[in-house]
Amino acid sequence: MSRPRPFLTVTASPAPRRTAAAIAAAACWLPAQTPTAPSSPPTAAAKAQDPPPRAPTTTSARLPEVVITESNATDERQLEQVPIDHPGGRDLIGPREVRESGAVNIQTLLRRSPGIQIQEETGSDSLPNIAMRGVTGADGAWRSINLGMYADGIPLAPAPYGQPGNSLFPFVMERVYAVDVQRGGGAVRYGPNNVAGVINFLTRPIPKEATFYGRVRYDTFQNGSYYAATGGTTGPFGVLLEAVYKDGETFRNGGDYTIQNYALKTSYVLAPHVRLFGQLETYEDDSHLSDGLNLAGYRADPKQTQSPQNRFSGNQDRVNLRLEWDLDKDTLLEVITYAYEGNRTFFLGNPTFYGANNNLQFLQTTPRPMRTIALQPQITHTYALGGGTGELHVGLRYLQEDITRTVSRYFPNGTAQLRRTEEQYDYYTSSAWVENAFRYDKWTVTPGARFEYVQIDARDRIGGIAVEKSFTEVLPGLTLSRKLTETWSLFGGAQKTFQAPQAPQISISNNPQDISAQYAWVYEVGSRTRGLDGLLGTDLTLYQIDYTDRLVADPTQFDTFLNTGRSRHRGVELGLNSDLAAVGLPGVSLWTTSSFNDSRFTNGAFDGNRFAGAPRLLASWGARYRHERSGLWVGFDGTYVGNAYSDSENTRDINATGTRGLRPAYHIWNVGTGWDHAFNAKNEVSVMVGGRNVFDEDYFELRSARGIYPGAPASLVCQIGCTHRF
């Protein structure tokens, strides 16, 4: 697979070359520029000679093959269609679809992507539980642990090796400009913890001219969000400042929250062949947790909370830099560095459903200060090879993590108890990878391998006990694609990936658990078509994931994990989309996705059982009509989620605490209407009104150890946005 590249204006016929942008690059930093849909990417020389950007003249520009790290603000259609010969399951949620979705958080937005299932926990963007292809976190919270989550190409996990679950998720729906979803393994480029795939959230590009953006959203659950951004480009310097403030109550009692996210993005052309990009971000989250309900509580009032003192607090500061240097017309050097530091703390009462009548025995706190720093140089070189071309990509990364874990209990009488002494986990990781894309005629074959060394030093700062572990991994991969015609391709691939032992899985004692890494092979084959003037586009993918040394939490012992052996995740995904303009219905578009997944343990104590939280059937659908002259639009969409067990034992009947059982299937319908209007070249306005769960479907999720989480009832959401160019 080739690296992503910026969309650039080209003034001359380029030599066959692909300018690779880093996976860890801060996306959308470049000012908006105009693509000319070249069949081959621009050369470094062409980059240096680019004229000033101008209005777009075409909408057929080709997307990068891997995670997009640059986008074009003037032509959103580039972010709506996957390249015909991309060698794997992939889809894009474009800017217009994001704006018109009516989604109030990232999880609900992702429901429209095939193979993605979620477990709502807070109703806001806090604590996302997202899984793909049935690869959940088994029992308990998923925390999006088996997929790579990125914002503008930078990892979102607070510690990608030692704490890959997003219990601290420093990103919000309001900053999403578009989403690039890649299903399947990507270990050669991305490293560990992406067994199910990669999700890259793209933020707004730096505008070419000085511009202000504003957007306000409010719903009937008293959730409000406020987004403002301003920036522009002057000579070689570009800047964009984004600010998000959101708060609300969700639909549950005791679910009040406040989230703030601020970002400063910059770009600077140091010399004709040298470019520097930077980004600073800060994030704060203070959320009360309505938490789960027992069965009797859910039946009595799904909106109530039985845990009124439970809450979550988190914060993180982030910075990343990227230097691009065109060494010659065929060679690009990139040096990327990023660092982030933060803390997250849960405040959870015992017993789980203690209520408001002084039944609280103690309040347990679990602070996790975490810090990550990384340096990643990489080179991409393109060359002629016989009758075709080759693209060689070589990279190195050093990444270090520091994680501190403590557990304290606070009792109603004012006393406190340190249940877990201060434990320090240091991860020292070194990675190297090499990948070469060979392109001959209509074939693209890309072999590669990644080499990982992980050293883990864990110690009890008070007790003096130390535990050390180290792993050396070789992760090979091979993908290929074949264009049968200009509108039809076949693709396939096989890749290996792994997940290092996480900090919570390493017991610091004189007799620690022998926890090994978890490994997986990911296989997929598929077909992609684009034809009949947009009347029918299809994406069909068959996949199988063979996972070994699966770890699940022991339900009877705190912070103890069981090696349950192997699991297998196999299925099929189908996406269909249609633009009916080809049959005389301009402005009408339809789309639907469906997926079947069979996720099971294949040996061990749970042999043959379905994986917890993994439904067999998922589907989504939607239709839009847009009147181009007036800017008015109307549409609907929906989601179907099949039933799923909450535990690895596959308990069928829901128990009294609501922690075990078979969660029934449900479906959700949404509607929306809106108006987009440009008053003149400088001022635009957009209005949207949407109904969520319009048939008031009664649905819920079951969580091991936490109980029943009710789904949101019917609601109304309103949004108004404006754009002003100075």
Residue spans per domain, the chain: 44-725
Residue 25: the pLDDT is 36
Q: How confident is the model over 20-71, as pLDDT tens digits?
A: 333 333 333 333 333 333 333 333 333 333 333 333 333 233 333 333 444 3
Residue 245: the pLDDT is 98
Whether residue 386 contacts residue 425, with contact meaning beta carbons closer than 8 Å, is answered with no
- Place 7 in a pLDDT band, splitting at 50, 70 and 90: very low
Q: How confident is the model over 587-617, as pLDDT tens digits?
A: 999 999 999 999 999 988 889 999 999 999 9
Looking at every residue in the chain, the average pLDDT score rounds to 86
CATH class as words, domain 44-725: mainly beta
Whether residue 677 contacts residue 716, with contact meaning beta carbons closer than 8 Å, is answered with no
- CA-closest candidate to residue 119, choices 645, 604, 685: 645
Whether residue 603 contacts residue 567, with contact meaning beta carbons closer than 8 Å, is answered with no
Residue 37: the pLDDT is 32
CA angle 552/306/255 to nearest 5° reads 90
Strand ranges, E, within 441-559: 443-460, 466-485, 488-499, 518-531, 536-553
Give pTM, 2 decimals.
Answer: 0.88
Q: How confident is the model over 463-509, as pLDDT tens digits?
A: 889 999 998 999 999 999 999 999 999 999 999 998 888 888 888 88
Q: Two tokens at 30? A: 């470049």
Taking the C-alpha atoms of residue 52 and residue 11, their distance in angstroms, rounded to an integer, is 11
Long-range contacts of 615-618 (CB under 8 A, 24+ apart): 615/117, 615/641, 615/642, 615/643, 615/644, 615/665, 616/642, 616/643, 617/641, 617/642, 617/665, 618/114, 618/115, 618/116, 618/117, 618/593, 618/594, 618/642
Residue 559: the pLDDT is 61
Name 458's bridge partners. Answer: 425, 467
CA–CA distances in Å: residue 229 to residues 28, 131, 226, 238, 396: 14, 31, 10, 14, 35
Percent of the chain with pLDDT over 90: 70
Q: How confident is the model over 118-171, as pLDDT tens digits?
A: 998 998 999 999 999 999 876 667 788 889 999 998 999 999 999 998 999 999
Q: Two tokens at 725? A: 């160019």
> What is the arithmetic mean of pLDDT over 385-393?
92
Q: What are the backbone dihedrals phi and psi of residue 174, each rounded to the nearest 5 degrees, phi first?
A: -60, -25
DSSP state, 453? E
